[in-house]
Amino acid sequence: MMKFLEYLRVVKKRTEGTIKQYHSILREFQKFEPITQSSWNRYLDHISANKPKTQKNKLKVVKEYLNWKADHGLIESDRFWNEAEPPREQNLPKAIDMEEIQKIIDVCDNPYYKALFKLLANTGMRISEALNLTMNDISLNGVAKIRIRGKGNKERIISVNRTIVEEAIKAGVFNKKVSPRAVQIALKKYAKKAGINQKVTPHIFRHSFAVALIERGTPINKIQVLLGHSNIATTGIYLRVASDTIEIPQLI
């Protein structure tokens, strides 16, 4: 770490105030070295308690430090840390009731979109993930399984209701390719037809899936895996959304 700070001072001509700030952040980070995917996830979880602006600053410093080490052959890695994105100011994700999603599906008279909407609602997939699926990603040996390629080309495999997958196959969801914009337009059309007044997007299906699982008691770490989140703090925000629906009973 000290060699990196000296590099910043001599080569990069950073001010002493900046060096002091870097030193403080890296001293905290040193507890999570040597860096592995596991220790990196623990660090992300650790700093998730900070304000978004502080998290952004810490990630900037630590990424610069780790990239410097990798450049100088001090660590060997595929630089997975560069995939971590600083959080935005956390506006709570918007979700709708599953009953409202069911209404949209019920009024949909297009077999392709009906099957796609069911798939999204029951898996929490991002629209880009769903549209990139092919038959090679589907397994119907016993329980239906879907291999999903998420952000950073990370793969996850989820088990899905067989009927939903078979309906998607029959409707050509894994063969016919439409644009995300076309899905958004179709969803807007059928949401209006179902009498849903608020804005509905494919990503709101994802949020609604997560909230519905929380309300049914699914452990947050399992929801993290299903959604493909690298940081459990990202999944944790759905706890705040779900809490809005809890009516506290009289306890005494």
- Give catalytic residues, as residue numbers: 126, 151, 203, 206, 229, 238
Contact 172, 133 (CB under 8 A): no
Contacts of 170 (CB under 8 A, 6+ apart): 111, 115
Give the C-alpha separation, 16 to 86, whole Å.
25
Which residues partner with 157 through β-bridges? 147
Task: Give CA angle at 122 (44, 165), nearest 5°.
Answer: 120
Contacts of 3 (CB under 8 A, 6+ apart): none
Contact 127, 221 (CB under 8 A): no
- Strand residue runs (E) in the chain: 138-139, 144-149, 155-160
The two three-digit tokens of residue 214, written as one number: 């929380």
User: What's at 168, amino acid-wise?
Assistant: A
Give the C-alpha separation, 210 to 81, whole Å.
26
φ, ψ of residue 146 in degrees (nearest 5)? -125, 130
Instruction: Using the Cα atoms of residue 191, residue 194, residue 198 and residue 203 in order, give the sign of their dihedral.
Output: negative
Q: Is 228 exposed, middle or buried (0-12, 13-18, 19+ CB in 10 A)?
A: buried
